[in-house]
Amino acid sequence: MGYLDDQVAAINSPPRRSRRRYLWILLIVVVIAGVTLAAIPARLHTGQVTVVRAEGTLVTGQVDSADSTGSEVIGKALRAAADDPVTDAIVLRVNSPGGTPAAAQEIIEDIEYAKTKKPVVVSMGDIATSAAYLISVHADRIYANPDTFTANIGTIWTFSNDAEWMKKKGYEVEVVKSGEMKDMGSSSRPLTADERDYAQQLVNASFESFISDVLSHRVVNRTAIEDGRVIRGQEAKDLGLIDELGNLHDAEDAASELARTWSD
């Protein structure tokens, strides 16, 4: 049986010359395939757009509730979309009255990271004011509706004084503190003159950082926006605060178009 097996194997095996020819053909096919793959762009732009949402008050952290969204939640979504090979562009859908300066600063870092990978377009909903406008100016393009409320550029710090009410109710508060301003902002007493001046200094410094950032990204007259008023989308377009009037679908189309001419 061993002899017969050897004979069958010899009959079924191609000659050495044929095997060499097959190997050469295979090698040529591999080389051609390699050249063809090398000629294909590293990332084909398919127009795939990922929408990331920034809704409610912007705060730091992992908050994700009906009325607030955390910077870490938004940032994680932005970075995931930026690193996703299937996504060609990002639309940041903003529907927020603003939030804390620190939250805006954290989100801005993630927007800037995303922009190193692919275009980012903002689509404003009902409202995108204060810190929500600040993050928006870092996008490659901004869309808003004619009646979107936006701008509201500035910083505010509100203090409440319940001292008179507490006095009428018979409440008394005794404070032991390590420094004169340690209980600054306590509702049990009004601000002192020094505390009011210091609070104004902090607000002014935050405002200057805010408006300087806006002016570095948008060609707009400072005097037209420094009063901190809310501005309709139509007027915002006229002032240069946004780029185009349109809804989410318009922003997605624009992002897809930007992706076609985007270079990594």
Residue 114 and residue 79 in contact, taking contact as beta carbons nearer than 8 Å:
yes
CA 96 – CA 174 distance, rounded (Å)? 39
Q: Is the pLDDT of residue 1 over 70?
A: no
List, for residues 39-66, the tens digit of each pLDDT value.
434 445 556 999 999 999 999 999 999 8
Q: List all residues 6 or more positions away from 72 whose beta carbon is below 8 Å from its beta carbon.
A: 60, 61, 62, 106
Which of 139, 151, 147, 120 minimizes the C-alpha distance to 225? Answer: 151
- Whole-angstrom Cα distance, residue 205 to residue 67? 28
Out of 3.40.640.10, 3.90.226.10, 2.60.40.420, 3.40.50.740, the CATH code matching 49-152+229-260 is 3.90.226.10
> Is the Cβ–Cβ distance between 84 and 49 less than 8 Å?
no
Residues 31, 33, 37, 39: what is their CA dihedral angle, to the nearest 10 degrees?
70
Residue in 13, 65, 177, 182 annotated catalytic? 182
Alpha-carbon distance 225 to 67, whole Å? 27
182 part of the active site: yes
Q: What is the mean pLDDT of the chain?
A: 88
Residue 247, amino acid = N
Q: Is the pLDDT confidence value at 29 over 60?
A: no
Helix axes 101-115, 193-217, angle to 10 degrees: 20
Mean pLDDT throughout 71-97? Answer: 97
Residue 261's pLDDT is 87
Does the pLDDT at position 92 exceed 70? yes
Most distant CA pair in the chain, distance: 116
Specify which residues 241 forms β-bridges with. Answer: none
Number of H helices, E strands in the chain: 9, 9
Give 215-256 pLDDT, tens digit per residue: 999 999 999 999 999 999 999 999 999 999 999 999 999 999
Q: Which of 130, 136, 237, 256 is catalytic?
A: 130
Compute the distance between CA of residue 174 and CA of residue 51 in angstroms, rounded to an integer. 52
